[in-house]
Structure 1
Amino acid sequence: MTANGNRQGLGDIKITGSGSSGGGTFNQVKIMGDAEISSTADCGLFKCLGTAQVNGSLIAETASVNGTLNVRENLQGGLLKSQGEVSVSGDLQLKSISINGELAVGGNVSSDFVKINGGLRAASGQTEELLVRGVVEVPGMLNGELVEIKMYGPSRIGELVGAKITVKKGLEIPLIGKMTSHYDGGELSAESIEGDVVYLENTKAAVVRGRRVNIGSGCEIGLVEYTDEFKQDTAASVGRFVRLG
């Protein structure tokens, strides 16, 4: 990846309408319309207003998408902001991610900060801070220091691990999506959830472990293991709870 500040003299790509380009190292890549890049692109700025497909990896210090971006291999770099859909067949490794729409990653997501209003789908993920308002589907491990999920649809996580974990049902219908009189705020299914401080609503899990565990309404938990504090809402089901230490 080209280091910051070493892009002087590099060319730019600008595609308006429908077009294509080869890959390479650039200062800026700007797409307004429908474009295809034939191989890996390494750039300081990647900006897409429309639809873009990269038939390789995309390396960008800043990526801005208003529309649809499809990366056939990996996406890595600094900042990603998107209004629309971003799909990555391989791994995603960025410093900061902000999505209004959907992020779909075939491999692992790694980022310091992730904020999503919409949907997150990935094989696994590791973040410092994860904020989701919408739907999460991660069949593997999702690990974050701070994890806050407000559900607006069915979600699934294999293993959820973090320091502070908060899972809540959505309290109102978001502007996107269909109105329904039977809306219940969504539900999270997980094999295991482990954190220092854990608060859950509308969650089904085999095992929940933590120092302070609060099982809220709509939960069905097989086993809770805690060390300091355990609370259970009257509208929650817990098969067994054990204080450790």
Structure 2
Amino acid sequence: MRTRITTIAATVMLTAAAIAHAGNVGISAGDYYSPTLATTLTAQGNSVHAVGWYNDNVLSTYDVYIQDGSSFADAAALDRFVYHGGTLIQLPWSFTNIAYTADTTVFSRRRRGTLEQLNPGIDVIAPDDWLLAGVTLPEAGTQTIGREIGNRFADGATPVLEWEDGTALLGYRRYGAGLVVGFDVHLVTADASPLSADWSNRIIGNAISPVPELSTWAMLATGATMLLLRRRRPD
């Protein structure tokens, strides 16, 4: 019986993991680091589509939309996309150029951006957060990065990472049935291809394909056990 319970629980967990993988991704087309990020996400097994313009119907075809830089943006449409279950990932420069609605704002102040500087160091606010699963953060001064300086977390946002100068780095908020993730970093390498670091790609990958929390696994295992016991009852 123990073997059967374990088998059923494992099957349910694998099924849940498959459901959690939101692999149909739209990303703003034509901005500074969209092509590099799209290539990386495709290599991770996602279906990635470059989007130059969207409306509600276009957004409804994606599980995740990544708003990059100063590309076309419709804050009201993004709001509805999240509310109805979509995941919106906001990347640098979009904080400066786009006025998100109050319900989809992760960083409350929009300040100036900077492209090339050494990583000033990162403070971890929530070390056990799901966005950091499998992530090894870089030491201060080890990478050249771009970011928007002076952003603060908005009311209602969950802070995860902060630059050591107090600028918001990574956070998220729930809205309706969906999720908004704000990520204030892009990486600049020798060939000027940003967002190429393993740690930043892992964070974005976690946002696209979230790992269920332990409490979720516990509920799934309990449900599987109850189902098995009910099937074993005599008629």
Q: TM-score, normalised by structure 1?
A: 0.26
Q: TM-score, normalised by structure 2?
A: 0.26
Work out which structure has the larger RCO, using CA pairs closer than 8 Å and 6 or more positions apart in sequence.
2
Q: Which has the larger radius of gyration?
A: 1
